[in-house]
Chains A and B, each alone.
Chain A
Amino acid sequence: MKAKGRKGILSRLIKALFFRKRTAKIGIYGPPNAGKTTLANRIIHTFVDENEDMGVSTEVPHETRRAVRRSGIIIDLKSKSMQNPNSILDSKPGRRKAKAKLKLDVVDTPGLATKIDFHEFMAYGLEEEEAKRRAKEATEGVIEAIKWLDDIDGIVLLMDSTKDPYTQTNIVIIGNMEARGTPVIIAANKVDLADAAPQRIINAFPQHPVIPISALKGENMEELYEEMARRFR
């Protein structure tokens, strides 16, 4: 597997040097209920169409059980919806310059988990048969999300700021991306909630940029988009 990792880095290097892709594929990853689909929808509403959704987000875990790709999203930092007098764009010395426009394919992925128990879904009011069906689909979704990592050029790893960030799935995703040399941005989501503590995430993963956001309320999204334009160009 180590040899595979080295091979992966080598093939990415060759691709980057000789077959530079015009559009980067960015995966939104994270545990169930971190707000991945809410973020994907927020990106679409901001840069594509206010009435278009990538998926449905609910409080029931594993609502997204199939990866959904939206191609050709243009992250335009100078668009009207992005006008921000406090923009940090290019303002911090020593930081890599963010591109004003970036074309991306965004992939909203099912939540990664090491366990899926149908009883958990029944606690949300689902009938037993429906809960079992959802559990089965959720296991397939996890596998699909893992397979997508092979085709992803960068990831936005979403974490819930109200929860302990040191989960094994977070560590596994970051470890895999580091082994592949794939850029990672951590979005510390749900900062609008009273018990949010994004600093815990910043302390836990100091080697990666951590942007505190609320995908639901649209808080601090400009900084996330600017970091995406900086990392994924």
Chain B
Amino acid sequence: MEIKMDMISEDKINSMGSMEKLRFVLDGVKSGNIVVLEGGLTPEEQMKLIELTMTEVNEDFPGIEMSGYPAKRGFLNLRRKTRLTVIGPAKVMRTIKKEKDLISAMISAI
């Protein structure tokens, strides 16, 4: 089985509203795709994504696997710069190692 990977630019992500962004990600993941977001999701958006995911968990869709680098502090610690976030179906993606600047994940076809 082939697994599709969608790599989304920061510009495209920034052009979407918050809910639109989360819906876009979750629809992609529920279709079986791995979604890679340049620039990543903020911690607040990630929490909303977990919440949205939980409303849609069922016997066929157990949820998501999500990995991302922690946000970087900006000037005077005032602005947090989010970085890359990877989201995939929990059935096919499994994070095997994660450090501050390293994500190692296993993708296995069903």
Contacts and interface: CB of A to CB of B under 8 A. Distances in A.
A1 B65 contact: no
* B interface: dominant SS: mixed
Contact of B43 (A116, A117, A175, A204): A175
Interface stretch (A66-74, A75-83, A161-169): A161-169
Interface string B41-69: 01111111011011101010011111110
Given A114-B90, A139-B54, A143-B51, A168 B66 contact: yes
A115 B63 contact: yes
B100 A115 contact: no
B71 interface: yes
B28 interface: no
A193 to B, nearest CB: 21
B2 to A, nearest CB: 22
A1 B57 contact: no
B99 interface: yes
Contacts of B57: 115-116, 135, 139
A1 B44 CA distance: 7
* A interface: dominant SS: helix
Given A132-B59, A166-B100, A167-B98, A114 B64 contact: yes
Contacts of B53: 114
A115 B65 contact: yes
A172 B48 CA distance: 10
A230 B51 CA distance: 32
B18 interface: yes
B59 A114 contact: no
Nearest to A149: B47
B43 A171 contact: yes
B43 A179 contact: yes
A209 interface: no
A171 B80 CA distance: 14
A1 B45 contact: yes
Contacts of B45: 1
6 contacts: A113-B63, A139-B55, A142-B54, A146-B51, A172-B50, A175-B42
